[in-house]
Structure 1
Amino acid sequence: MESALEEIEFLALSPNRVAVLDSLATGERTRNELAAETGASQATLGRILNDFRDRAWIEREGSTYVATATGRLVSSGFTDLREIIETEQRLRGVVEYLPTDALTFDLRRLADATITTPTQMRPNAPLSRLLELLEDADEVWTVSHAFNEQTLTVVQERTARGEQAFKGVFSQRAIDALATDDELQTRLEDLLEEDDAAVRVREDGVPLAVMLLDDVVYLLVRDEHGVLRASIDTDDEVVRSWARETVDDYWERADSLEGANDEFLE
């Protein structure tokens, strides 16, 4: 009997084998139907079907073939492995910067996420993506170690016009950075005057930057030096649930900005 790794190699080395097993795992097929679905020749299909029958992955019922219980198990497991590898490949360039300790959901939930990275022509592409999402969002919840000028400006102007509700938890360092600029300090003070805006601050800091914009979760990814490396956004329901719980948890453990920064607001 071949080892498990040898069986994986047997299947993985042939896209036609994968396609045939996937097809038969969903229901009965004739050889002509398999040929039409996979593009494999009849000779190739004959070899594949014989190999699968030798492994008891499929069985023949008259003129049709169908996967057995173990064939469906192999198909499902291989699909899971393929999705994991595909997700890993997409995240490979940014995974070292992800706050993985805080991301308690299965990373496979990011398989269809939009990953935006800086380029020579668009060095601020991740931030541009965030501003695009902010301009369309009716409700914004966030936890972040930064509150930059562009984000603050969009949020303050949209809440002032009654177009957006905002709830944010920021590190003390992020708030202190705004105090060094009179215009940004004024914008933050104006934001705090809005009925649909609330801001809290954490002395202990915030190790991640996550924003929930209606149904979209946006993650801003920086390295240890604060250099912007990428953004990731997704509307996956599991990631959305994680984002809501994360914001709520930080919110409950944060202080009111008004009470914690009286000197800043004077």
Structure 2
Amino acid sequence: MESALAEVEFLALSPNRVDTLRLLADGPYTRRELVEETGASQPTLGRILGDFEERSWVVREGSTYRATATGRLVANGFGHLLDILDTEAKLRPVVRWLPTDTMSFDLDHLTAATVTTPSQVRPNAPVKRALDLLEDAEEVRIVSYAFNEQSLDVVVDRTQAGEQRFEGVFSSAAIDALADDSRLRHQLRELLDSDRASVRITDEDIPLAATVADSVVHLFLRDDRGILQASLDVDEPAVSAWADDLFARYWETATPLDSDQL
């Protein structure tokens, strides 16, 4: 373990070492090409290549260098570690609000996720991010304990224009809240009467607000008081598969809603 940690430290202390090993893992390079790619000086690069040769991570073939099998192993493993740490840094401010109890995928699938948080100049940024996804999607599915006015506006407009197909499973309380407002009740009726939309309701607890907009999965992240703190979205097959299964489970047990029930 100590020797492995020493090698991690050896690489971590020098971005030039990391960059050089990653480059050589992808193919052969001359020393001049490595200098141009990494920005390291000739003496620095010479020391790096010498250290790598001592570890049998690279071999020299004429004027070029290439990574050995173990060199590629180290490059890939260290690169994966860096990706994990980048993901952790991205999720650190919002991890307390992630619905991890319901997630069946590893968090490393969120490497490419977009995290949107409110700011003083954009307090509604998480909602705006969700609306942007809804406005661009042709296929939308939502499972949620709430259905906000702005999302309803977009979905009604898009389905009526023939630009979107919509399926939603909502808590009964979410639909009751819309039905209590005359304008929103009218919009909801328009949605329910559309042949491009289907809505179901459930009394089962829905602990999260998840939207699948084409292949992008979007989550609203709220604290224990129900206050919106951030949103997260990602286009990643493992996360999409989880969201598909989640939606299907609620859809199968929910009750279809039609306009006559409002």
Q: Normalization by structure 2: what TM-score?
A: 0.92
Amino acid at match of 2:68: T
1:94 paired residue number: 94
Q: How does 1:214-233 map to 2 (within 5 A)?
A: 214-233=214-233
Aligned partners of 1:108, 1:98: CA distance in 2, in Å?
A: 14
Amino acid at match of 1:238: A
Name the SS for the 2:120 alignment partner. coil
Superimposed CA distance per residue, residues 52-78 of structure 1 (whole angstroms, 9 cap, x where no aligned partner):
122221222233222121111111000
Amino acid at match of 1:58: V
Aligned partners of 2:150, 2:29: CA distance in 1, in Å?
A: 56
Aligned partners of 2:26, 2:130: CA distance in 1, in Å?
A: 40
1:60 paired residue number: 60
1:134 paired residue number: 134
Range moving further from structure 2, 21-30 or 236-245? 236-245
Q: Percent identity?
A: 58
Amino acid at match of 1:65: Y
Aligned partners of 1:50, 1:138: CA distance in 2, in Å?
A: 55
* Maintained 8 Å contact 1:221/1:228: yes
The Cα RMSD (Å) is 2.0
1:20 paired residue number: 20
1:170 positional shift: 0.9
Range moving further from structure 2, 52-61 or 236-245? 236-245
Aligned partners of 1:157, 1:46: CA distance in 2, in Å?
A: 63
Aligned partners of 1:41, 1:133: CA distance in 2, in Å?
A: 46
2:190 paired residue number: 190
Superimposed CA distance per residue, residues 16-46 of structure 1 (whole angstroms, 9 cap, x where no aligned partner):
1111111111222222221122111121112
Superimposed CA distance per residue, residues 140-190 of structure 1 (whole angstroms, 9 cap, x where no aligned partner):
111111101111122123323333211001122212222332322232223
Q: Normalization by structure 1: what TM-score?
A: 0.91
Write out the 4+ residue segments of structure 1 that deviate beyond 3 Å after TM superposition. none
* Maintained 8 Å contact 1:210/1:220: yes
Q: How does 1:137-156 map to 2 (within 5 A)?
A: 137-156=137-156
1:5 paired residue number: 5
Name the SS for the 1:120 alignment partner. coil
1:2 positional shift: 5.5
2:245 paired residue number: 245
Q: What residue ranges of structure 1 are gaps of 5+ in the alignment? A: none
Task: Report whether the alignment pairs 1:108 with 2:145.
Answer: no
Amino acid at match of 2:193: E
Name the SS for the 2:19 alignment partner. helix
1:221 positional shift: 1.3
1:46 paired residue number: 46
Amino acid at match of 2:169: V
1:248 positional shift: 1.8
Name the SS for the 1:122 alignment partner. coil
2:76 paired residue number: 76
* Maintained 8 Å contact 1:211/1:219: yes
